[in-house]
Amino acid sequence: MDRPSEEQTAETVRQLRALTTPEGAAALARAAALLAEGVDAVAALTRLRAEVGTDLAGPAWGIARQRQNARATFGADADRMLFTGDTLEQAGRPELAARRAARLLAGGADSVADLGCAAGTDTIALARAGARVLAVDVDPVARELTAANAEALGVADDVWVVAGDAVELVAAARGGEVAGCGAAVLDPARRAGGRRLLDPDRWSPPWSTVAELLAKVPTSVVKVAPGLDHDRVPDGVEAEWVSVGGSIVEALLWGGAVSATWRRATVVRDGEFHELTADADPGPAPAGPVRAWLHEPDPAVIRSGLVSLVAADLGATLVDPTIAYLTSDGPAVGSPWVSSYRVDEVLPFNLKKLKALLRGHGVGRVVVKKRGSAIEPETLARQLRGPGSGAATVVVTRVDGAPTALVCDVT
Ligand SMILES: C[S@@+](CC[C@H](N)C(=O)[O-])C[C@H]1O[C@@H](n2cnc3c(N)ncnc32)[C@H](O)[C@@H]1O
């Protein structure tokens, strides 16, 4: 998507403002009711135009749709907040924003600059955690959303929304403060035109501002892409990868005053937080032959470079020096760091032989996992499907350099 023109931006701001009036609130309530009734867009817009006027109908319908999308993440707050599609996509999870805010403020900072506030997820979490927040954004729509959302959620007295360029503010930072605040949150935009920007120098603000903020404002936290190269992490800065339900949802760099370790993997499972840390690079885990159990480390453990800590804990070795699968004699009972599979068969990867072996075990349904192999899991699972009533997990990987299939958890 191209950048909106100044006229489009001004029109969006005008529409958002109209929705914060009593008439706007009534239009939003009506749009939400039509959406809940399952009325399709064309019919809903026709009815809304007749009932609330042409000016409010479209914007109210748009926001009602965004609120519906936001509910899974924002719960009851979603129905009081305003989002555009872009800002909802960029918004972090509020429970993680709250955790970040609490950690950032634990050292006593009471004012925080949120540098790039978008719809205000971080601003609101910081204000709820007790800080006074200077919410900064270059985008007038983001500022409008943050102001409206702070008001709607009852924290407006602690939030100041201002226009500003984070690049300039960080360049002017002095004495451990930025924009007069003793702490900062920076969450650079890492997408443009609907695409991920893989090069941190192209983020907005760019990597140079990230590095400068971490160097100048020790009470700071920066959200970065989970794929960030470890070599970019400055000395004295803790890097943390957070996963929820087995997928990485954010990566953070903590300024010197709030860094507590070298790397941290935070794994959230069933709403519980588990943290694994290392004060220095623990190096790679040793490799060894496949044993009775295979363990797949959580991606936060892998990305944070802490697989060898888990290996030591489980008495496990890598199946291959270049592959993050572990193997040991026993299951990893209760470990939040890995998912474990009982290994029933190990064979060099060969489709025909694998099929025959599964038939022999009466296996008809297969889940395929892979690491270090070019196979396409869904395609292979289809090819391996058979008449048997049993099930199995087939792991395709390299073992000591050789393409190998591990048939696991045969039932
Ligand atoms: C990824 S979003 C922030 C999301 C927010 N932390 C949340 O969780 O909802 C990045 C924001 O930074 C803003 N931005 C980009 N470059 C900026 C700059 N140089 N100065 C200030 N804001 C900037 C964008 O307009 C966008 O609203």
Using the 3D structure, point to which of 84, 118, 136 is the last residue of a domain.
84
Question: 314 and 368: one domain?
Answer: yes
Ligand 1 pocket test, pick from 83, 117, 141 with the greatest ligand atom count within 8 Å of Cβ, gives: 117
39 occurs within a structural domain: yes
335 occurs within a structural domain: yes
Owning domain of residue 306: 293-408
pLDDT of residue 230: 95
SS3 content of the chain, % helix, strand, coil (to 5): 40, 30, 30
Ligand 1 closest atom vs CA 118: 27
Question: How many C-alpha atoms does 275 have within 13 Å on its Cβ side?
Answer: 10
CATH number of the domain where residue 148 is located: 3.40.50.150
Using the 3D structure, point to which of 84, 103, 127 is the last residue of a domain.
84
pLDDT of residue 192: 86
Question: 104 and 151: one domain?
Answer: yes
Burial class, 261, CB count within 10 angstroms (exposed 0-12 / middle 13-18 / buried 19+)? middle
pLDDT of residue 403: 97
Q: Whose CA is nearest to atom 7 of ligand 1?
A: 91
pLDDT of 3 above 90: no
Question: 319 and 367: one domain?
Answer: yes
Question: 312 and 192: one domain?
Answer: no
CB-ligand 1 contact for 166 (6 Å cutoff): yes
pLDDT of residue 171: 98
Percent of the chain residues topping a pLDDT of 70: 100
Type of residue found at 255: G
pLDDT for 206-233, tens place per residue? 999 999 999 999 999 999 999 999 999 9
pLDDT of 2 above 80: no
Task: Work out the angle at residue 356's Cα, subtended by the Cα atoms of residues 354 and 357, and round it to the nearest 5 degrees.
Answer: 65
Which of 128, 116, 122 minimizes the C-alpha distance to 100?
122
pLDDT of residue 18: 95
Structure token digits, residue 11: 């029109």
Which of 123, 28, 14 minimizes the C-alpha distance to 67?
28
Average pLDDT over every residue of 89-116: 95
Average pLDDT over every residue of 346-353: 96
Task: Work out the angle at residue 93's Cα, subtended by the Cα atoms of residues 90 and 97, and round it to the nearest 5 degrees.
Answer: 100
Check if the beta carbon of residue 127 is closer than 8 Å to that of residue 110: no
Using the 3D structure, point to which of 44, 66, 84 is the last residue of a domain.
84
281 occurs within a structural domain: no
* Rounded distance from Cα 78 to ligand 1 centre (Å): 20
* Rounded distance from Cα 257 to ligand 1 centre (Å): 23
pLDDT of 398 above 70: yes
**Per-chain mean pLDDT for the chain:** 96
pLDDT of 1 above 60: no
Which of 92, 276, 329 minimizes the C-alpha distance to 188?
92
351 occurs within a structural domain: yes
210 occurs within a structural domain: yes
Question: 194 and 109: one domain?
Answer: yes
CB-ligand 1 contact for 187 (6 Å cutoff): yes
CB-ligand 1 contact for 189 (6 Å cutoff): yes
Check if the beta carbon of residue 78 is closer than 8 Å to that of residue 28: no
pLDDT of residue 410: 95
pLDDT for 150-185, tens place per residue? 999 999 999 999 999 999 999 999 999 999 999 999
374 occurs within a structural domain: yes
* Rounded distance from Cα 115 to ligand 1 centre (Å): 7
CB-ligand 1 contact for 225 (6 Å cutoff): no
Residues ≥6 apart with Cβ < 8 Å to 379? none
Going 325 to 328 to 330 to 332, the CA torsion angle's sign is: negative
211 occurs within a structural domain: yes
pLDDT of 271 above 80: yes
DSSP codes, 185-215: EE--B-EETTEE--SGGGSBS-HHHHHHHHH
Ligand 1 pocket test, pick from 1, 83, 89, 137 with the greatest ligand atom count within 8 Å of Cβ, gives: 137
Question: 80 and 174: one domain?
Answer: no
pLDDT of residue 194: 82
Question: 114 and 60: one domain?
Answer: no
Average pLDDT over every residue of 242-248: 96
d(C-alpha 11, C-alpha 14), whole Å:
5
pLDDT for 104-128, tens place per residue? 999 899 999 999 999 999 999 999 9
What three-state secondary structure class fits 37? coil
Question: 67 and 23: one domain?
Answer: yes
Q: In 74-207, which ranges are E strands? A: 111-115, 132-137, 159-163, 183-186, 191-192, 195-196
Question: 159 and 71: one domain?
Answer: no
* Rounded distance from Cα 63 to ligand 1 centre (Å): 20
370 bridge partner residues: 396
d(C-alpha 43, C-alpha 4), whole Å:
28
Residue with tokens 């002017």: 172
